[in-house]
Structure 1
């Protein structure tokens, strides 16, 4: 009888220890999940956006468009409400049908920027390998030219990432710097693109 009692105590202790280990494991997993910040979530999506652009996978790229608002594309740091704002389905249709869209106006000449989507991407979005950007930041500007940067006035409550190159050819003394800014908005517990802003030195 004494031996049976000892065995029962051992079994109970083992079960109790297993329960405590399970609880500790669950607590650690919960704490780990709690450490994922808003910044982490946005930066993760931003990297996925850049990977899709680098791979020229435009179907995947549009999967990050804000479902209700689409994305506004600005060729320069100053955001104008006349700049092209487009939903994901229309973006893909424009690629498929080779539509020429008006995106804004060329710096200097003031002429309308009329381009198909792929040439626009090559010139005003992924014009450099921003996945390997020289500098990166969150909610802070790196590139600073002579045009007005009104991102925080247009999107005062939203968060953004910036990817920056200080220049590509020494003979330009940094005047060929280039930045890409991605602006995000939360929708049904996920972050989506609402603006893609290219910036550079303007005349």
Structure 2
């Protein structure tokens, strides 16, 4: 009888170890920070108050498998939303090292301060020359709406004004391949990136007296790369004059 106890103990230990291994993180390098449990309205998931909504997805372009983005299957849209969730998590946590792993190595990552992507003035960074928050160099990121003055900012200041100036992980409205935020600035992502798909995270407004003119959006542009999607653009949207 005494000889059986060690065997039973060893078997029990093996079962416990197997269970622990199944629950471990299999890909720590690419998983987004676990910050979405407190954001029920994020990426189209309705909040408990029903505030979230999700737009349909008619647009142009192709998926990595060659399917027009207007006809993206539910699983492909889910893949894009999951990638957007990962991306917005890194942006919220200011985790540039992880963000860079999602960037398309050939096209790089373009930063557009407004909904109209300007291929002449928007800055593009490849993964190996990506700026950091410690970079104090002031760059010209485009032209300011209204004044026409150059947008001359350090990367940190641009990030805080034209990237994550709102908590877009909690945006109530989310769409795949359909623009929500519209104004006087033409949204031209489909023409600049004809084979891309995009996810828009949108706040319809914050001050009721402004009747929606203070809306804010962040559009994440993903391009096909083999059988994957890669991040190629971060487009900030807001009401323009």
For these two proteins, the number of residue pairs brought into alignment is 168
Q: CA deviation at 1:36?
A: 7.6
Tell me by how many angstroms 1:178 deviates.
Answer: 0.5
Tell me what 1:20 maps to.
none
Residue 171 of structure 1, CA deviation: 2.6
Task: For residue 137 of structure 1, report the CA deviation from its aligned partner.
Answer: 0.6
Change beyond 3 A, Cα 1:110–1:187: same
Residue segments in structure 2 that go unaligned for 5+ positions in a row: 1-72
1:186: which partner in 2? 224
Q: Deviations over 1:88-115 (max 9, x none)?
A: 22223x5443222211110011111111
Q: Is the 8 A contact 2:135 2:155 kept in 1?
A: no
Is 1:129 matched up with 2:164?
no
Aligned counterparts, 1:12-27, within 5 A: none
Q: Which residue number in structure 1 is paired with residue 210 of structure 2?
A: 172
Write the distance in 1 (CA, Å) between the matches of 2:186 and 2:223: 23
- Alignment match, 2:67: none
Find runs of 4+ consecutive structure 1 residues off by over 6 angstroms. none
User: 1:88 and 1:102 mapped to 2: Cα distance?
Assistant: 20
For residues 100 and 79 of structure 1, the distance between their equivalents in structure 2, rounded to whole angstroms, comes to 21
What's the TM-score once normalised by structure 2's chain length? 0.66
1:116 Cα shift? 1.1
Deviation of the 1:37 alpha carbon: 2.5
Partner of 2:89: 51
- Out of 128, 131, 143, which is 1:105 matched to? 143
- Quote the offset at 1:51 in angstroms: 0.3
Q: By percentage of residues, which structure has more helix?
A: 1
Matched residue of 2:122: which SS? coil
Gaps of 5+ in 1: 1-34
Contact 2:135 2:154 in 1 (8 A): no
For residue 170 of structure 1, report the CA deviation from its aligned partner: 2.0
Could you say what the CA RMSD is over the residues aligned between the two structures, in angstroms?
A: 1.6
Q: Does 1:117 align with 2:155?
A: yes
Return the match for 1:88 from 124, 127, 140. Answer: 127
> 1:21-71 CA distances to partner (integer Å, 9 max, x unpaired)?
xxxxxxxxxxxxxx9822222211111110001111111112211111111
d(CA) in 2 for partners of 1:51, 1:113: 26
Mapped pair 1:152 → 2:190: yes
Distance between the aligned counterparts of 1:100 and 1:192, measured in 2?
27
